[in-house]
Structure 1
C-alpha cells in the first residue's frame, strides 16, 4: 500500500488514520483542511505549506 499525501498544495505530509476529510479530499491537519486561515501552520514542524498558501483572510481593500 502506498502512502497518500495531504491534498493541501505544497504540503508533502503523509495522511494517516487521523486524516481530515473535506470535499472528498484528505488533509494531514485542520490547518491544511481549512486553507491556513490567518496563516495557521501545518502540524509538521518545518513544513512550509502555510507560507506558500494563498491568503485566506477576506480583508477589505483600503
Structure 2
C-alpha cells in the first residue's frame, strides 16, 4: 500500500490504517480531522497546518 498524506490541505504528514478517518478521508490528528475549528495552529507533528493563510 502506498503511503498516503493527511487530507488536511496544508498538512504534509503521512497517514496509515491507524489514522483518524472522517468522511472517507484520513487525517493524522484530531485537529486536522475537525479542520482546526478548535483554534489549533498545528497537528502536533511539527507542522503548522492550522495557521490561517
CA distance in 1, matches of 2:52, 2:45: 15
| Structure with max Cα Rg | 1
More helix by share: 1
Which structure 1 residue ranges, 5 or more long, are not aligned? 54-62
| TM-score normalized with structure 1 length | 0.71
More strand by share: 2
Over 6 Å off, 4+ runs: none
Which structure 2 residue ranges, 5 or more long, are not aligned? none
Task: Give the superposition deviation at 1:38.
Answer: 3.2
Aligned to 1:27: 27
Task: Give the superposition deviation at 1:11.
Answer: 0.5
| TM-score normalized with structure 2 length | 0.81
Aligned to 2:45: 44
CA RMSD of aligned residues (A): 1.6
